[in-house]
């Protein structure tokens, strides 16, 4: 069983400077079809030439309220999350419309709620980046905001303990990869920073409006990039506050 990560988060800069790309990794991520968006976006981050071919230039760039256009010769490769150990997603427990031809990949800073959003659309069975927008996300004043909660949950050990519903439903793999189910009490729990202190969280939306139906459930999903990390953590809103109620770690 692993408790995940404590590194610093990626930045939300307008352009990300190019770094040497592992050519073997590029070969591993060549995809035959764009139908799987997760395969596409990983390849998009790994391969600078492929990335340029899948951007509609001049690219619309919105930095809060300032709009500009980025020409192809001014573009600097954006690795997205290809240099990280893992990437997150958040589910509300509802099925998503995977048939949609729109995707928005968002990095959201948990403290400031400023998000950097990459707007993709499928055209002729190929995904293209149409726009990047940095914006200040709104916060529901009537309920505890989950993203803000998660930022504190990953940093404050006392707050984390207070917001776990003990005994905690735990599922993980032992050293022989057998599934183990246990109920942990507070004394057994060790503080976890989960994902890079949760400074920034990635979410994949399935429409250009970033619609996300509010429910009393959130599932933080962490999937590794070319490694065996595979975990998810269920949170429930109880009397207006978020609590972790289930821990599942199938990492190998």
Structure confidence by residue, pLDDT tens digits, 227-247: 999 999 999 999 999 999 999
Q: Is 99 exposed, middle or buried (0-12, 13-18, 19+ CB in 10 A)?
A: exposed
- β-sheet bridge partners, residue 230: 223
Give the residue extent of every domain in the chain. 23-141+189-249
Model confidence at 65, pLDDT cuts 50, 70, 90, reads confident
Q: Taking residues 28-50, what's their average pLDDT?
A: 80
What are residue 22's phi and psi, to 5 degrees?
A: -70, 110
Q: Supply the pLDDT for residue 1.
A: 52
Coil, strand or helix at 17: coil
Considering the entire predicted model, what is its pTM?
Answer: 0.86
Range from 15-19, 192-196, 203-207 carrying the lowest mean pLDDT: 15-19
For residue 27, pLDDT beyond 60: no
Coil, strand or helix at 24: helix
Q: Supply the pLDDT for residue 23.
A: 43
Quote the CA–CA distance of 212 and 249 in Å, as a whole number. Answer: 25
* DSSP string over 197-210: GGSEEEEEESSTT-
Q: Supply the pLDDT for residue 7.
A: 35
For residue 202, pLDDT beyond 60: yes
| DSSP state for residue 206 in the 8-state scheme | S
Model confidence at 33, pLDDT cuts 50, 70, 90, reads low
Q: Supply the pLDDT for residue 142.
A: 84
Model confidence at 155, pLDDT cuts 50, 70, 90, reads very high
Q: Supply the pLDDT for residue 32.
A: 54
For residue 194, pLDDT beyond 50: yes
Which has the higher per-residue pLDDT, 177 or 5? 177
In which residue are the tokens 């390849």 written? Answer: 43
Model confidence at 159, pLDDT cuts 50, 70, 90, reads very high
Range from 28-32, 103-107, 125-129, 225-229 carrying the lowest mean pLDDT: 28-32
Coil, strand or helix at 108: strand
Which has the higher per-residue pLDDT, 7 or 29? 29
Structure confidence by residue, pLDDT tens digits, 51-61: 999 999 999 99
Q: What is the mean pLDDT of the chain?
A: 88
Q: Supply the pLDDT for residue 156.
A: 97
């Amino acid at each position: 069983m692993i408790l995940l990560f404590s590194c610093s988060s990626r930045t939300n800069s307008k352009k990300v400077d190019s770094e040497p790309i592992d050519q073997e990794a590029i070969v591993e991520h060549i995809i035959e079809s764009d139908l799987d968006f997760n395969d596409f976006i990983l390849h998009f981050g790994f391969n600078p030439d492929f990335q340029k071919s899948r951007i509609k230039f001049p690219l619309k760039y919105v930095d809060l309220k300032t709009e500009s256009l980025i020409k192809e010769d001014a573009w600097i490769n954006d690795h997205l999350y290809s240099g990280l150990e893992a990437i997150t997603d958040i589910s509300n427990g509802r099925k998503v419309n995977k048939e949609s031809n729109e995707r928005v990949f968002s990095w959201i800073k948990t403290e400031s709620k400023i998000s950097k959003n990459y707007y993709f659309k499928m055209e002729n069975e190929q995904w293209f980046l149409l726009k990047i927008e940095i914006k200040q996300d709104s916060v529901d004043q009537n309920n505890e905001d989950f993203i803000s909660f998660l930022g504190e949950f990953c940093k404050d050990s006392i707050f984390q303990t207070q917001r776990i519903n003990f005994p905690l439903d735990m599922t993980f793999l032992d050293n022989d990869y057998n599934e183990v189910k246990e109920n942990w009490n507070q004394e057994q729990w060790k503080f976890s920073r989960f994902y890079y202190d949760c400074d920034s969280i990635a979410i994949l939306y399935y429409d250009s409006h970033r619609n996300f139906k509010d429910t009393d459930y959130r599932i933080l999903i962490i999937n590794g990039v070319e490694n065996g990390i595979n975990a998810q953590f269920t949170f429930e809103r109880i009397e207006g506050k978020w609590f972790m109620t289930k821990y599942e770690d199938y990492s190998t």
